[in-house]
């Protein structure tokens, strides 16, 4: 289990996330939503140990399967990264080395971490890419990161982490760059993956959160202001942001209904 206890992080001038308490167990996808700038990505980066250099911890602890990772060195973080915990960044471009093709990158990671031959590593890469809807595997594998889109790079990261069978995945808006069909594919992969892993998922997509998260946390101004199922959160929205989401949802439902009515009439 990942346990976050009373975590407060920020710059010298300002606390960005405040007194966060949150748990992620294997077998569940925990959702995280909230206004832009409320601190969601900061929380994920803090858990993964890659926060901005001008940030400091004011208070709190992070435990990953009882190991206190709050003050681990970069070297120690690298050791658990990919095995115990993996991160799908919101802007994956900077996480990839543009000199590497996807094939070189995936083969290197799988041979190193899974102790398999290059041939087996390539088979795993092809299988995982296809599972994530990246069916044009020859092109994807022979491309460098600067020849691929942000959504493709996020799915490649997801393919690497599912290939490694990482214990916990922190995913920062992995569906935001995807069309409907590929969102469905990724959602199904996350659902399958949660059987053996725990996932913390940032999303603004209420339909996605509703479909795959039993527990969703809402952040505002660095604090968690509510949690529960999407239906319970929307039935008693505690902030302006959640009220807006409820309104948007109703508009969408009305539109769907109207469209159906119109189609039937026609
Ligand atoms: N390096 C930094 N120095 C100072 N403040 C920062 C830094 N990085 C982010 N912030 C501030 O921290 C706050 C939280 O940012 P964060 O990226 O965590 O928000 P978010 O909820 O993930 O937003 P979004 O939904 O737009 O991705 C914002 O006000 C942002 O301006």
Interface confidence (ipTM) of the complex: 0.97
**Centroid of ligand 1 to alpha carbon of 261 (angstroms):** 43
Give the nearest ligand 1 atom to 204 CA.
Answer: 25
Confirm or reject: Cβ of 13 under 6 Å from ligand 1: no
Give the nearest ligand 1 atom to 17 CA.
Answer: 14
- The protein residue with its alpha carbon nearest to ligand 1, atom 27, reads 36
**Range with the largest mean pLDDT of 60-74, 197-211, 249-263:** 197-211
Q: With 50 as the cut, is the pLDDT of residue 264 above it?
A: no
pLDDT in tens, 169-198: 999 999 888 888 889 999 999 999 999 999
Confirm or reject: Cβ of 32 under 6 Å from ligand 1: no
- Please give the residue that has the higher pLDDT: either 40 or 95: 40
Helix-, strand-, coil-residue percentages of the chain, each rounded to 5: 45, 25, 30
- Please give the residue that has the higher pLDDT: either 25 or 76: 25
Measure the CA–CA gap between 49 and 169, rounded to whole angstroms: 13
For 46, 162, 220, 221, the CA distances from 168, given in Å and listed in that order, are: 14, 10, 24, 26
Domains in the chain, ordered, with CATH?
1-84+169-182+189-234 (3.40.50.300), 94-165 (no CATH)
Residue for token pair 């976050």: 4
Measure the CA–CA gap between 225 and 33, rounded to whole angstroms: 11
- The protein residue with its alpha carbon nearest to ligand 1, atom 9, reads 42
**Range with the largest mean pLDDT of 65-69, 163-167, 236-240:** 163-167
Task: Show the CA angle centred on residue 18, arms to residues 12 and 22, nearest 5°.
Answer: 140
Mean pLDDT along residues 86-108: 90
pLDDT given for residue 256 in this prediction: 53
208: enclosing H helix or E strand: helix 206-212
- Kindly give the interhelix angle for 118-131 and 150-164, rounded to the nearest 10 degrees: 120
Number of neighbouring beta carbons within 10 Å of residue 259: 10
- With a pLDDT cut of 90, the percent of the chain lying above it is 62
For 139, 233, 249, 255, 264, the CA distances from 258, given in Å and listed in that order, are: 42, 26, 14, 5, 10
Mean pLDDT along residues 108-114: 93
Q: How many residues does the chain have?
A: 266
The answer to whether 5 and 63 have CB atoms below 8 angstroms apart is yes
Secondary structure class of 55 (helix, strand, coil): coil
Confirm or reject: Cβ of 89 under 6 Å from ligand 1: no
**Which of 16, 20, 222 maximizes ligand 1 atoms within 8 Å of its Cβ, making it the mutation to test the pocket?**
16
Mean pLDDT along residues 215-239: 91
Mean pLDDT along residues 202-219: 93
pLDDT given for residue 251 in this prediction: 67
- In angstroms, how far is the first alpha carbon of the chain from the final one? 54
**Centroid of ligand 1 to alpha carbon of 40 (angstroms):** 8
């Amino acid at each position: 289990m990942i346990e976050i206890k009373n975590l407060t992080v920020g710059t010298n001038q300002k606390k960005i996330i405040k007194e966060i308490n949150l748990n992620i167990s294997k077998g569940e996808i925990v959702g995280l939503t909230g206004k832009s700038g409320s601190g969601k990505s900061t929380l994920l980066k803090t858990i993964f140990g890659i926060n901005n250099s001008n940030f400091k911890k004011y208070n709190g602890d992070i435990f990953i399967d009882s190991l206190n990772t709050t003050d681990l060195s970069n070297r120690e973080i690298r050791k658990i990264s990919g095995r115990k915990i993996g991160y799908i960044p919101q802007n994956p471009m900077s996480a990839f080395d543009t000199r590497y093709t996807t094939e070189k990158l995936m083969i290197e990671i799988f041979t190193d971490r899974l102790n398999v031959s290059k041939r087996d590593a390539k088979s795993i890469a092809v299988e995982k890419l296809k599972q994530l809807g990246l069916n044009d595997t020859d092109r994807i594998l022979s491309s460098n990161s600067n020849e691929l889109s942000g959504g493709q790079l996020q799915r490649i990261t997801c393919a690497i982490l599912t290939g490694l069978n990482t214990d916990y995945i922190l995913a920062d808006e992995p569906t935001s760059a995807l069309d409907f069909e590929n969102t469905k594919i990724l959602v199904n992969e996350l659902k399958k993956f949660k059987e053996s892993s725990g996932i913390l998922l940032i999303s603004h997509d209420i339909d996605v959160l509703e479909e795959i998260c039993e527990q969703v946390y809402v952040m505002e101004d660095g604090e968690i202001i509510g949690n529960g199922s999407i239906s319970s959160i929307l039935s008693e929205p505690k902030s302006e942001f959640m009220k807006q989401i409820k309104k948007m949802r109703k508009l969408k439902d009305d539109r769907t209904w109207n469209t159906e009515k119109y189609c039937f009439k026609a």
